[in-house]
């Protein structure tokens, strides 16, 4: 299967039209280009979560929809197709009525396991810190002391 070339849409203010932006073909442009290349493969609103779910087990399309209730069928389909075109995941179609489709990680996708798990651990720590900071701000407000943050603002640590 030959991967399709994708363009990324951007809005052209001058003419009020949508035009395509072709991504870099080679990643030798700057020290951060390998990061850009990695994010191009796994950077989509749902791609990280899809890959995380596939680390544990093969997942059917309907199971993705149940586990990701806010994603639309169209977006989920597009994200799965992109991951498949990039050689990160595969799918098996069972000859049944109704048809059953199961997605799984390919060896290249499995190499992303430490990256995905690192993202999960970072996110877990970040969310715990954010919740703790929020609870501290609520406690300060309830005790009658002035909060250091404007009313309604969360204290989010800058790393």
- Sequence-ordered strand ranges (E) for the chain: 8-12, 17-21, 59-60, 89-94, 100-105
Domain boundaries, the chain: 33-106, 112-159
Question: Inter-axis angle of helices 113-142 and 47-56, to 10 degrees?
Answer: 110
The structure's pTM equals 0.65
| pLDDT score at 57 | 95
- How do residues 14-28 score in pLDDT, each as one tens digit? 444 444 444 555 555
| pLDDT score at 158 | 52
> Which has more pLDDT, 32 or 7?
32
- 72/64 Cα distance (integer angstroms): 11
| pLDDT score at 13 | 42
- How do residues 99-149 score in pLDDT, each as one tens digit? 899 999 999 999 999 999 999 999 999 988 888 778 777 777 666 555 444
Residue with tokens 């075109």: 85
Q: Does domain 33-106 sit in CATH 1.10.10.10?
A: yes
- How do residues 76-102 score in pLDDT, each as one tens digit? 999 999 999 999 999 999 998 888 999
């Amino acid at each position: 299967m030959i991967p399709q070339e994708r363009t990324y849409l951007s809005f052209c203010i001058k003419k009020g039209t949508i035009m395509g932006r072709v991504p870099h073909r080679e990643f030798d442009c700057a020290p951060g280009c390998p990061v850009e290349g990695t994010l191009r493969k796994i950077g989509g609103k749902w791609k990280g979560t899809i890959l995380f779910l596939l680390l544990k087990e093969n997942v059917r399309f309907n199971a993705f929809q149940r586990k990701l209730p806010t994603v639309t069928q169209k977006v989920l389909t597009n994200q799965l197709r992109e991951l498949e075109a990039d050689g990160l995941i595969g799918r098996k179609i069972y000859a049944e009525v109704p048809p059953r489709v199961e997605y799984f990680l390919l060896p290249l996708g499995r190499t992303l396991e430490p990256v995905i798990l690192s993202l999960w651990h970072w996110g877990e720590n970040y969310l715990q810190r954010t919740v703790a900071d929020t609870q501290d701000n609520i406690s300060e407000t309830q005790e009658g002391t002035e909060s250091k943050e404007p009313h309604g603002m969360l204290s989010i640590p800058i790393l």
